[in-house]
Structure 1
Amino acid sequence: MKSLFVTLLFLFACITVIAQNALPAANGYIGIGTAAPTSRLHVLDNNRNYYVDRGIPGISDDNITENYILLHVMYIGTILPTDYHVMGRFSAVRGSSVGSNRKWIVDVNTASAYNRNIGSLVSFSDRASLVTLTYNSVAYLAVSIPKMSTLYNFSFTGYAQNDSFRIVRGSEVTDVNTFNATEEIGIQGAVVIKNAATSNRLVLSGIDSTYSNIIAVTHTAIPNSQLYIGNATSSYPVITQRNANIIESYRDLHIGAANSGKIIFENGRNGTTIGSSMVIANNKNVGIGVDNPAYKLTVDGTIGARRVKVTQEQWADYVFHPNYKLPALATVSQFIKDNKHLPDIPSEKEVKERGVDLGEMNKLYLQKIEELTLYIIDLQRQVDALKENTAKFMKENNQ
């Protein structure tokens, strides 16, 4: 009787275990905690599905601009999903053992629950991105696959709930938009990105004895080639730059705008309104307070300087040349009466419309001063002659 009881107890335990698990069937799938596995190994525990090497049918099409892996339905409008999420790694292969045999890997962490859609993505080998799209009139979160050589052997390993894993073509979807991934991907500690085959490296360090929140770009083969970008704390060595955002180069600093773009320095941003302080245009004109400078330097405002040096190709000393014709004062008088300004000097209207050339105007001022000097010299000559004639006349009459 005791032996029979033990046998019955063992059979009951086996039936219970088989009811909760699935041993390898014809498709080779194994389930733990589930009797209906959907991958080589499907574990259901704590109400969460974990998959190992879950295959995704289909291949990418390199004749299509973009291909996509549907992840899951997303929240939109008043549709409130209960728990749609994907946390894990997708992989695929480009080429073959006689080709590039390149492995495509993407880590995703997405979720749509109640009234939110969140997600982040990290890709390896080829660029990928999170997008939103519409497929068969339903909105999805998806992974965008760039147009390159065909990808095949797609698989997923990780956690997923209410997923919609499927390869779709760009021609099958609409309303494709890049997903605004606001979730952080955090790394605790200094981050060093370096190509082992070169001397280039990018260092992101939040804890430093001298700097804080600094991105340091260096080339270890070139001494003093550091470029620092970040926020300087109170310990920053340059006192006037403490508690400020800085860009500092230990060598020449080249800042360029490709494709005929402008270099714009701005402050006082208010939303999308830009308060440009200085603009370097693609024609090499510089504007301060001006977005489209018309001259090599255009300033909207007052310029303060200790000295200003203007080079000139011609100066007004030609007034003193023997062949210079000094205008008669009567002619000058008539010109002033008719035009209300001096000859050769621009009128008020012309100045308001076109401004003045400082170098040219100084030359004209000097010309008028030199002309006045000649007039004065001539008047003095006349005065001296008049004095001489008067003295002579007085002397002759007194005799």
Structure 2
Amino acid sequence: MKSTLVTLLCLFVSAIATAQNTFPATGNVGIGTTSPTSRLQVVDNGRNYYVNRGIPGATDDNVSENYILLHPVYVAGASFMPDCHVMGKISAIRGSAASYNRKWTVEVNTASAYNSNIGNIISYNDSPVPKLVTLIYDSITYLAVSITKAATVTSFSFTGWAQNESFKIVKAAEVSDVKIFNASTEIGIQAPVGIRNVASNNVLTLAANDTSYSNFLFMTHTGFPQSMFYIGTTNSSYIVPAQRNASLIESYRDLHIGAANSGNIIFENGRNGTAINSSMVIANNKNVGIGIDNPTYKLTVNGTIGARRVKVTQETWADYVFHPNYQLPSLASVEQFIKTNKHLPDIPSEKEVTEKGIDLGEINKLYLQKIEELTLYIIDLQKQINALKENAATQAK
């Protein structure tokens, strides 16, 4: 009899244990709650965890943008807020034999409580990428995620932790005051990061062996040998000795740096605060300035230039002075010009040089012109001296 009772008790306990793992074929299941709002809702430590919680609605591809409301946010001057957060993954789908293939997935980590708002998102599959924004809907300010205008997506689902969540799809026309949320919280990975595009062999690596120099960014294309590109702070074992313990940008192939449309390329150093004048500017009109922000010539230098040699090309030169048809000014006319203008003919005055500067090539041509004119004057004077000598010798006989 006792053996029979033990056997019956074991069968009863086994039936109970089996029943605890049997869920209904329809409806929601709750663990720690009697009113689950998703297929599976688990409440523990006062927190709600949802599995595949449906979010009703779909986007409208006839409007400029759609948004999914996450939760209300704290607004400066308002009463302190209870905890509102969404921490998990939201996804939506579209695609069949008769409809465009689109998948939308966002990892959300946002919260509003007391008197502040924090959060960030990681998105997949969509371009342009979704944005974390604040907006006003029905007179309440929310944190929301933008959904780019494209083929309609539906069957929204959330899996993760949430408290005082909103989870509503709204259209651009239904909201106002949309602003990009300043996601100041970081997304960190405590390990070397490698991103590889298998199809194109592009590789992006952020890593360093020396913890003192941990901001090294390395990019390469394995299809092209020696195509490495480095950005970061070098350590003492860096392959170029002159660049040790310095920040660098280095390419093992041609390095192209460009600014599109009307942008300039600006180099600066010596920053101490928030403002600094540029050290060098390559303007969009191809002018280059050193020590000046708005160069007006192909090369504008605000300072002294040192060089071993300077070569200036010229379209004309002063040898026309020696041509037979050149009208050499008389010394009397030159003397009169100097008395009147206080500088040589054809040579710019002090005022012109002070106001406009000088063209090195042009001024050297003018200097040569004067030297050649002086040479002709000297040759003419020598002829006159020789004639006087001959005349004196003739008279002496």
User: Contact 2:103/2:153 (CA < 8 Å) preserved in 1?
Assistant: no
Instruction: Name the counterpart of 1:17.
Output: none
Instruction: Name the counterpart of 2:9.
Output: none
Aligned partner letter, 1:29: N
Offset of residue 320 of structure 1 = 2.4
User: Contact 2:67/2:171 (CA < 8 Å) preserved in 1?
Assistant: yes
Is 248-257 or 211-220 further displaced after alignment?
Answer: 211-220
The separation in 1 between residues aligned to 2:188 and 2:97, in whole angstroms, is 36
User: Contact 1:211/1:235 (CA < 8 Å) preserved in 2?
Assistant: no
**Secondary structure class of the residue paired with 2:42:** strand
Instruction: Name the counterpart of 2:216.
Output: 214
Is 23-32 or 249-258 further displaced after alignment?
Answer: 23-32
Instruction: Name the counterpart of 1:49.
Output: 48
User: Contact 1:34/1:43 (CA < 8 Å) preserved in 2?
Assistant: yes
**Secondary structure class of the residue paired with 1:334:** helix
Is 179-188 or 277-286 further displaced after alignment?
Answer: 277-286
Instruction: Name the counterpart of 1:373.
Output: 375
Aligned partner letter, 1:122: I
Q: Deviations over 1:159-187 (max 9, x none)?
A: 01111111111111111111111111111
The separation in 1 between residues aligned to 2:37 and 2:226, in whole angstroms, is 57
Offset of residue 267 of structure 1 = 2.8
Is 280-289 or 322-331 further displaced after alignment?
Answer: 280-289
TM-score (norm 2): 0.88
- Which aligned pairs between 1:155-166 and structure 2 lie closer than 5 A? 155-166=157-168
Aligned partner letter, 1:78: G
User: Contact 1:189/1:206 (CA < 8 Å) preserved in 2?
Assistant: no
The separation in 1 between residues aligned to 2:381 and 2:232, in whole angstroms, is 71
The separation in 2 between residues aligned to 1:26 and 1:168, in whole angstroms, is 32
User: Contact 1:129/1:143 (CA < 8 Å) preserved in 2?
Assistant: yes
Residues 258 and 88 of structure 1: CA distance in aligned 2, closer, same or farther (over 3 Å): same
User: Contact 1:91/1:105 (CA < 8 Å) preserved in 2?
Assistant: yes
- Which aligned pairs between 1:144-293 and structure 2 lie closer than 5 A? 144-207=146-209, 212-269=214-271, 273-293=275-295
Instruction: Name the counterpart of 1:38.
Output: 37
The separation in 2 between residues aligned to 1:359 and 1:202, in whole angstroms, is 50
The separation in 2 between residues aligned to 1:147 and 1:273, in whole angstroms, is 39
Offset of residue 115 of structure 1 = 2.1
Instruction: Name the counterpart of 2:81.
Output: 81
**Secondary structure class of the residue paired with 1:213:** coil
Is 295-304 or 94-103 further displaced after alignment?
Answer: 94-103
Residues 139 and 107 of structure 1: CA distance in aligned 2, closer, same or farther (over 3 Å): same
Offset of residue 190 of structure 1 = 1.9
Aligned partner letter, 2:254: D
Residues 208 and 226 of structure 1: CA distance in aligned 2, closer, same or farther (over 3 Å): farther
Unaligned segments of structure 2, at least 5 residues: 6-11
The separation in 1 between residues aligned to 2:348 and 2:66, in whole angstroms, is 68
**Is residue 303 of structure 2 the alignment partner of residue 304 of structure 1?**
no
Is 373-382 or 249-258 further displaced after alignment?
Answer: 373-382
The separation in 2 between residues aligned to 1:200 and 1:107, in whole angstroms, is 25
Aligned partner letter, 1:39: S
The separation in 1 between residues aligned to 2:26 and 2:340, in whole angstroms, is 107
Aligned pair count?
378
The separation in 1 between residues aligned to 2:101 and 2:138, in whole angstroms, is 34
Residues 25 and 223 of structure 1: CA distance in aligned 2, closer, same or farther (over 3 Å): closer
Offset of residue 108 of structure 1 = 0.8
